[in-house]
Structure 1
Amino acid sequence: MLFFAVLFITFALIFYTLGVFGEKLQKTLKPWHLAAFWAGFACDTGGTALMSRLAVGQSTISFHTVTGLAAILLMLIHAVWATVVLKRNNQELMAGFHKYSLIVWLIWLIPYFSGMFTRMVR
């Protein structure tokens, strides 16, 4: 199960990074970026669910847990917001959206790396 959890989290990193930096390079939000955001969110949620099943019986409140839940919530808000922006087809909002995407991506990296480092220390 650990293998699949790590695989899902890694796919989340790949999808989310492609969406964020694809949007930044193209200087506007496009439907494929939105698909990458939702795929990243789905993979992160799936990987987190598997990780939580592995952690049964362990302390559930930690820096990694808190930042991980915050990151998933931010990813959800980000993907919903991107959906609304694309649906409204507002060029100004679409052009400026990448600034917020990068912030959410950077915040998402905190639990990604804290989980990796925590596991390596054990």
Structure 2
Amino acid sequence: MINYIIKLKEKKEQEKTTTIFKISQSNIKFISLGDGIITNKKEIEIGEGEEIEVNKEIRELICIGNEKKEKKKIQISSKEENEKYSIRIKPNIITIEGGYACEFEIFITIKCTTKLKNK
């Protein structure tokens, strides 16, 4: 019973800072990544051809959804550490129910003048 109350409290706190929505009620066009995971974009373009200020944080949004019936735990991470930029992601990790999607905020800070093309 105590575990249930703690989990319920954590879920309420998470709902204050995280956008979770029903996929069927959204007008977002999703792309399949496989295994029931879908996203609204496969790549993040920052600045879209414009110059970006060094040491200024840029915010980008990406939606990740779960088409399967069972819950999926989702965490977005970068491949490796990079001295040219830093990334932080909110929420760090989340469990998404089947038929729902979550909006992730990706914050990117460019640390020096450079041209980036990571795949």
Instruction: Decide: shared fold, TM above 0.5.
Output: no
Higher strand share: 2
Could you state the TM-score of these two structures normalised by the residue count of structure 2? 0.31
Q: Which structure has more helix as a fraction of its residues? A: 1
Determine which structure has greater relative contact order: mean sequence separation of CA pairs < 8 Å that are 6+ residues apart, divided by chain length: 1
Q: Tell me the TM-score normalized by structure 1.
A: 0.31
Structure number with larger C-alpha Rg: 2
